[in-house]
Amino acid sequence: MPVVIYATIFPVVIGLLLRLPKLIIEIKQNKQWTFDWIKFIAIGLPSFYIIAMSFLPFADLEAVSIKVPEMNMLDSPTFQIIAGVVFGYILLDSLKK
């Protein structure tokens, strides 16, 4: 389970780190903060869904009946890695000043 958690969280952290320099530049400007809900819902939530579907088969959720698609992290993790990087980047990119 720790390997699955690491493989799920690491791409998200990479996406956050890719967007961090531009966010620091935006923090130095004196403007009001906003959140771009449209970008987050259109891009962030589908990528989060892909990340969650790679993690849920390994989670112990017997009480919750969730249908998990056939995307498995062990078969081809490339799609999940790209979705993780995109989710991390969009998470910080949705914060606007």
Per-residue pLDDT tens for 47-81?
998 888 877 776 666 655 556 565 555 567 888 88
What integer pLDDT is reported at residue 40 of this predicted model? 92
**How many other β-carbons are positioned within 10 Å of the β-carbon of residue 12?**
21
The whole-angstrom separation of Cα 94 and Cα 97 is 10
pLDDT category at 41 given cuts 50, 70, 90 is very high
* SS3 (DSSP) at 39: helix
pTM reported for the whole predicted model: 0.80
pLDDT in tens, 19-38: 999 888 888 887 788 888 99
